Structures are given as structure tokens and as C-alpha cells.
Amino acid sequence: MNTRTTPRIAIVGAGPGGLTCARILQKHGVSATVYDRDSGPDARNQGGSLDLHDDDGQIALREAGLLDEFFALSRPEGQEMRQMTSSGEIVDHKIPAEGELFKPEIDRGVLRDLLLNSVQPGTVQWGRGLDHVSGPADGPRLLHFTDGTTVEADLVIGADGAFSRVRPVVSPAVPAHTGVSFLEAWFDDVEARHPEISALVGQGSAASGDGERGMFAQRNGGDHIRVYLIRRVPAAWLADMGLTIDDTAAIRARLLEEYAAWSPALRRLISDNDGRYVDRPIFALPVPTTWESNPTVTLLGDAAHLMPPLGVGVNYAMLDAAELALAIADNDTVADAIRAYEATMLPRANETAKFLEGGAEQLMGTRFPGPPDDDSN
């Protein structure tokens, strides 16, 4: 980047994508500020476990100079995968080879902390929820925050997820419900409190489906397991039934009816969870989603290419972030950098999105296609 015209870069969203972008920019001597709506880094639970692949997510971490630290924190044993029938029979069991590091697991919060601690102090401004972006296409842009403040920037990077507030500047595309939703259940202190569930899931993940509904259980760090109950329901199914997410007993009773034919061992993943459920409707952007290159605004991760949760989201978000940061460092102007980045990112994303279109339905099949992604960016 030409230091005579160093741009003011605003990254919206302090998830793995936004922080990876900021880290790599700073490694190349380019300043960036990250704005996030959360009140602080510990404002909410960061979600479950992620598998970072050696052909995308790990490439980004290598560019960020964090790959060795990632391996030290990751759980290679989490690559274990069990496929079960709804009667509880294991029909496929993958155990990672010793030293296998193709896609080791790491808790989302641990990854976020690794990235957050790698950027310069003050890089992230918390409590800055974006309302909208204004200003001419050739800049400067004005970010309008929900607290009434504004910030001027020469480049705005939308790393703000499925319902991005930056996306409308470049694209009218909006996410649509896939017809499938997850209901997430948590199990804590599993070795002591849920030993049968711990043994069922193993060191990695266990999946089952009967064609109409599915179940995916995943071990997290800290002696936790998360279970995703996967069902073909409207996005507003709770309201349609006159329930709220706090109606744990009523929701559990409904689920036990729906999974009545499943084995007692698998039904314990419904009946024995600690605390309330978390409703996660699954959305995706239209395929293809594309736009004319804009010289002052671009997107990465789910903001650019929200897909069904089939193990792609966070990996693509981090790869996008690395490629965008390197393009900014290597090109003389922001406009050139954006064009170079989008020339690679958009075709890759749309090719994958086309392949995964309708893939949420596969999550209820008798052969699970892969680990569900948590919230991406």
C-alpha cells in the first residue's frame, strides 16, 4: 500500500474474519480499526467448536503468524467422527491418525481470544453497533452507529455476518430461511454429570439422522458438549406454537414426541441438557450473490456469502480476510485491492454456494455431510 495515501480502514465485526483481517493488515504496516456491537470481549458466549482446515482457515492463520499458537490450543482428537443410526448403532467411525492436523477443532472463544490478543491494543472498539453506511461511492464513507456517533473511513470492510449492515451498500441480497433450523442444547461437566453422553459422543462428534430430522453432538473444550437438534420447521416455529425459547419443558416435550422412535440413548441428548435451548434458524444468501466492485466498500465471510452450515463458514471468512488484507498491502490503491480480492473471492464463494445449495436438508440424512458450522465471522 502506498504510504502516501494510507487509507482509513474500518472493519465492522470482531469475529474471526474481522480480527484476522486486522491482524494481517497490521503485520504489513497497515492500520485498521475494528468496530463491534458487543459491549466487550466477554459480553456473550462465543459459540461451539470449529474445525479449521489446512487448505483455508490454517492458511489464514499462517499469514497471521499464529499457526503454531493455534496448534498448541487446538484439539486434534476432536477430528473423531461417529455416524449413528437413529437406533444408536454406529455405522461409520473415523478416528484421526496420530499427528493428523487436517482440521483440528478449537473452541470459538479460544480462537477469538488468540486473534484478539494478536492485534494492537485499542484496535477493537466495543459497543459500536453499526446502523448504516453513507457517503459517495468514491468516498469517504461515513459509518453511522446506533449510539448516534459517526466515523469517517476510506474503506469499509463488512465482516458483520449473516445480517450485515454493510452489505446493502453493495448488494440488495438478503438471507432467506432454508426451511431448516437448529435447536442447540448444552451439557456441562460431562465426565461427572453426563458420563453416558460423554461416552456416546467420544472425543469429537457424533451424528444421526432419519431423513426427517437429525442430531449432531460435538465435544467442546472445558468438559462441555453441545448438541444441535436439526429439524425441518419454519423460522418462527416457536411463535407459531405459542412458545418462547424460555419454555424449556414444553419444548423438550415437543422434541421427545418428534424423536419418539429414536433410541433411548440418543433421546437423552434431548431430555438431559443443562439449561434452556438456543434457537438457531438456518439462513442462506441467494446463489449466486455478486455485485459490481465498489472502490470503498467490500465484504467477507457470511456478509459476502452466507451458506448452509456445512463446515465452510469460518474457514472461508478467515481465508477471505487473509486475501483481502494481502491485496490491500500489495496494491497501490484501495480500489485496485478490492477488485483483485473480489476477482478471487466471489467466484470461489459462488461455486461453493452452488454446490451447497439446499445442503441444509442433508443435515437430516442418514449420512451426515460434515460438522455444522457455528456463527461464522
Count of domains forming the chain: 2
What's the confidence (pLDDT) of residue 4? 43
Which of 10, 20, 9 is closest to 377 using CA atoms?
Answer: 20
Quickly state the pLDDT bin for 78 (edges 50, 70, 90): very high
How far apart, in Å, are the Cα atoms of 152 and each of 105, 167, 195, 296? 38, 17, 54, 11
- Under DSSP, the state recorded for 96 is P
Quickly state the pLDDT bin for 371 (edges 50, 70, 90): low
Chain segment 163-186, per-residue pLDDT in tens: 999 999 999 999 999 999 999 999
Q: Do residues 289 and 230 both lie within one domain?
A: no
242 pLDDT more than 80: yes
369 pLDDT more than 90: no
Q: Do residues 43 and 134 both lie within one domain?
A: yes
Mean pLDDT of the chain: 95
CATH assignment at residue 263:
3.30.9.30
Q: Is 83 inside a domain boundary?
A: no
Q: Do residues 150 and 184 both lie within one domain?
A: no
**Residue 333: how many other CB atoms lie within 10 Å:** 14
What's the confidence (pLDDT) of residue 133? 98
**Residue 159: how many other CB atoms lie within 10 Å:** 34
According to DSSP, the residues that pair with 197 across neighbouring strands are: none
Q: Is 88 inside a domain boundary?
A: no
- C-alpha cell at position 124: 477493537
Q: Do residues 154 and 201 both lie within one domain?
A: no
Residues 170, 168: Cα–Cα separation, whole Å: 5
Q: Do residues 105 and 17 both lie within one domain?
A: yes
376 pLDDT more than 60: no
Q: Do residues 13 and 112 both lie within one domain?
A: yes
For the segment 259-265, the average pLDDT, to the nearest whole number, is 98
Residues 329, 311: Cα–Cα separation, whole Å: 29
Q: Do residues 53 and 133 both lie within one domain?
A: yes
Residues of the domain holding 268: 178-282
Which of 270, 218, 238, 282 is closest to 79 using CA atoms?
Answer: 218
**CA-based angle 210:185:261, to the nearest 5?**
30
- C-alpha cell at position 218: 460435538
Q: Do residues 250 and 122 both lie within one domain?
A: no
How far apart, in Å, are the Cα atoms of 118 and each of 19, 21, 22, 24, 202? 9, 11, 9, 10, 32
Give the three-state DSSP class for 183: strand
Name residues whose C-beta falls within 8 Å of residue 232's C-beta, 6 or more positions apart in sequence.
Answer: 179, 180, 212, 213, 361, 364
Residues 208, 363: Cα–Cα separation, whole Å: 9
Q: Is 95 inside a domain boundary?
A: no
Helices (H) and strands (E) in the chain, counts: 12, 17
For the segment 21-37, the average pLDDT, to the nearest whole number, is 98
CATH assignment at residue 118:
3.50.50.60
Give the three-state DSSP class for 302: helix
What's the confidence (pLDDT) of residue 46? 80
Q: Do residues 71 and 150 both lie within one domain?
A: yes
For the segment 3-9, the average pLDDT, to the nearest whole number, is 74
What's the confidence (pLDDT) of residue 146? 98
Q: Do residues 11 and 141 both lie within one domain?
A: yes
Residues 363, 377: Cα–Cα separation, whole Å: 21
How far apart, in Å, are the Cα atoms of 255 and each of 208, 216, 232, 237? 15, 15, 12, 13
Name residues whose C-beta falls within 8 Å of residue 154's C-beta, 6 or more positions apart in sequence.
Answer: 7, 8, 9, 139, 140, 141, 296, 334
201 pLDDT more than 60: yes
Chain segment 34-46, per-residue pLDDT in tens: 999 999 998 888 8
What's the confidence (pLDDT) of residue 377? 47
For the segment 259-285, the average pLDDT, to the nearest whole number, is 97
Which of 213, 185, 216, 184 is closest to 200 using CA atoms?
Answer: 216
Chain segment 107-147, per-residue pLDDT in tens: 999 999 999 999 999 999 999 999 999 999 999 999 999 99
**Residue 301: how many other CB atoms lie within 10 Å:** 32
Residues 177, 188: Cα–Cα separation, whole Å: 30
Name residues whose C-beta falls within 8 Å of residue 172's C-beta, 6 or more positions apart in sequence.
Answer: none
What's the confidence (pLDDT) of residue 3? 41
Give the three-state DSSP class for 125: strand
Q: Do residues 15 and 144 both lie within one domain?
A: yes
160 pLDDT more than 70: yes
Q: Is 318 inside a domain boundary?
A: yes
Burial of 40 (0-12, 13-18, 19+ CB in 10 A): exposed
